[in-house]
Structure 1
Amino acid sequence: MTVCVAACVHDGLVFAADSAASLLGANPTTGEVVIERVYQHGNKVFNLDKRLPVVAMTSGLGAIGNAPIHSLAKDLRREFKTDGSKYQLNPDKYSVAEIAQKAHDFLFAEKYSAAPKIAGNHSLDFWIGGYSSDSDTHELFKVGIVNGAATIECMCRDGQSDLLWGGQPSAINRMVMGYDNTLVESLRKAGVSDADLPGLM
C-alpha cells in the first residue's frame, strides 16, 4: 500500500514515502488476493551512493525472489563502488541516466529475470533522482517492471518543477488534483456521459 512522492523544484529534489510493507496472500476459498500482514517499518527511500547526490525510492513489489528491494538497493550501492564491477561508477564523471540504466540492468536483467516467475499482475517502480557530475540541475528517472516487461522513463530533467507520485495514488490524487482516481468510473456508473465528464472533473 505504498505512496511515494517526488517533489521537483528549482532548488532541488525531494523523495518521500510511507514505511508500511504489506504481505499479500490468497483467500483459500475464493482465490482473491488478501493482505495477510502489514509491517510498519519498511525502507522505501535509499541513498544510492553516499559519495553522490543521487537517491532512489520504490513502490510495488517489496521483493524480487527472496531479496527485499531495500537489500537489493544496498547491493547495487556496493556494486557502484566495487572495482571491476560492470556497475562501477566513476564519482567524478557519471550521469543520473547512467545510474538509471545500471539500476535497470541490475534489478531486471540480473535479479528479476533469474528469480522464480511471479504469477498474476505485478509491478515494481524504482525512481532515481539527483544530479549528474557535470550538471547543476536535477533529473528524475523511473525504472519500471510490469508483468515481466521493463522500461526506463525520464520523468523530469533540466531542473524543471513537477510533482510526481506512485504506488497507491488515491490519497495524493485527492490532495493534489482534488478528486480520487476512481471518480471517472464512478461517474460513468452513475450515468454521466463521456461528453459531460471533462466539465464535471
Structure 2
Amino acid sequence: MTIAISLKVNDGLVLAADSASSILIRDNQGHSGVINVYDNANKVFNIHKELPIGAITWGCGSIGVSSISTLVKDFRDQITNHTEHLLNTASYTMQEVAEKFYEFIYTERYQVEFASWQPFQRPSLGFILGGYSSGATLAEIWRIDILEGGISSGPYLVRNQDDCGVDWQGAPEAIARLIKGYSQMLPQLLLASGLTDQQVANIIPILDQNLQSPLILPAMPIQDLIDIADFLADLTKKYVKFTPGPPTVGGPVDIAVITKYEGFKWIKRKHYFDNGLN
C-alpha cells in the first residue's frame, strides 16, 4: 500500500508519494505473500531528463528481481539512448509516452514475470504519468491500472489539458474523508442498509456536489499546490499510523513539480547517499 498523489492546475502539476514498499515472494508451493515492508522505496520518478514528464507508482514494489524504481530507470534509458525506442523530443505526446511505458512495464515485464503465477496471486500495480506533450501549453495526466489477477486495459486519460484537480491512489480513506466528505465505505454501507444500486447511484453525486471541499483551484500558484500535496501525504501517513493495521504508508515523502518552462524539479527527495560526498 502507499499514498500516491497527483495535483494539477493551470501552471503545472505536482506528484507526491510516501516511501513504504511491500515486497512480495512466492514459495516452493506456489503461495505468495508480503515478506516485508520497507520505508525507503522510490515512487516518484523523472521519466526523461530533458522533458517535463514524471510518474508516480503504487501497488507492488517489484517485478521479479527488479524494483519498480529500477524498471522505470530502465525505461528512461530505453527511450533516451536506444535508437529503436527513442522518444522524439520535438514531436512526442503524453499519450505516446503512456503507451510506450505500458508496453514496457506490462507487456514486456509484468506479463512475462507473472505468467507462471496463478491469477489470484498476481499483484496489483498502478502508475500515473503526468506532464506536457511537445509544444503543449497545459499539462495532462494519464493512468495505468494493473488489477489483482494481472488484468489491465491499457493507459487512459485522467485529466486532459483543460482539467484541474487532485487524484490519489493507494490508501484513499483519509483524503477521501477530507475532500469528499465521506468514507470510501459509504456506498457499501448504503447497500447493506437496504438501498438499491440505483438509489445509491443517485445519492453519491448529490454528496459529491454538496460535501466536496474545493481545495484545488485552476489559478492556484504552484507553491500552494506543493503545500497541499505535502499536507495530504502527511495526513495519510498519520491516519494510517494511528488506525489498526500494518504501517502500509510511511517513510519520507518525495515531491516533484512539473511546469512548462522549468520542467521536472525535485522539491523533496530522499537520498541513500550524502550529496556532499558525491
After TM superposition, give the deviation of residue 6 of structure 1 in Å: 0.8
Alignment of 1:5-44 (within 5 A): 5-23=5-23, 36-44=35-43
1:157 corresponding residue in structure 2: 160
Residue aligned with 2:169, SS: strand
Is contact 1:21-1:41 (8 Å) kept? yes
What's the counterpart of residue 186 of structure 1? 189
Match of 1:135 in 2: 136
Count residues in correspondence.
194
Contact persistence 2:23–2:60 (CA under 8 A)? no
> How far 1:123 sits from its partner (Å)?
1.8
Q: 1:108 to 1:35 in 2, by over 3 A?
A: closer
Q: How many angstroms does 1:37 deviate by?
A: 2.5
Structure 1 position 55 matched with structure 2 position 58: no
In the TM superposition, 1:80-95 aligns within 5 A as 80-85=79-84, 87-95=85-93
Is the CA contact 2:8–2:165 (under 8 Å) kept in the aligned structure 1? yes
Which segments of 5 or more consecutive residues in structure 1 lack a partner in the other structure?
none
Larger relative contact order (Cα-Cα within 8 Å, sequence gap ≥ 6):
2
SS at match of 1:113: helix
Q: Which amino acid is the alignment partner of residue 23 of structure 1?
A: I
Distance in 1 (CA, whole Å) between partners of 2:40 and 2:15 is 17
Q: 1: CA distance between counterparts of 2:5 and 2:40?
A: 18
SS at 1:70 equivalent: helix
Deviation at 1:98, TM superposition (A): 0.8
SS in 2 for 1:148: coil
- Asked if the contact 1:3–1:165 (Cα under 8 Å) also holds between the matched residues in 2, the reply is yes
> Is the alpha carbon distance of 1:35 and 1:105 closer, same or farther for their aligned partners in structure 2, counting shifts above 3 Å?
closer
Contact 1:138-1:158 within 8 A present in 2 as well: yes
**Post-superposition offset of 1:94:** 1.2
Q: Which amino acid aligns with 2:166?
A: L
Supply the distance in 1 between the matched residues of 2:106 and 2:24 (Cα, whole angstroms).
22
Q: Does 1:176 align with 2:179?
A: yes
The structure in which a higher percent of residues are strand is 1
**Normalised by the size of structure 1, how large is the TM-score?**
0.85
The answer for unaligned runs of 5 or more in structure 2 is 208-278
Q: TM-score, normalised by structure 2?
A: 0.63
Question: What secondary structure sits across from 2:195 in the alignment?
Answer: coil
Matched, 1:2 2:2: yes
Amino acid at match of 1:128: L
Once the two structures are superposed, residues 95-135 of structure 1 have per-residue CA deviations (whole angstroms, 9 ceiling, x without a partner) of 11111010011011111122133431632111111001121
Comparing both structures, which one devotes a greater share of its residues to helix? 2
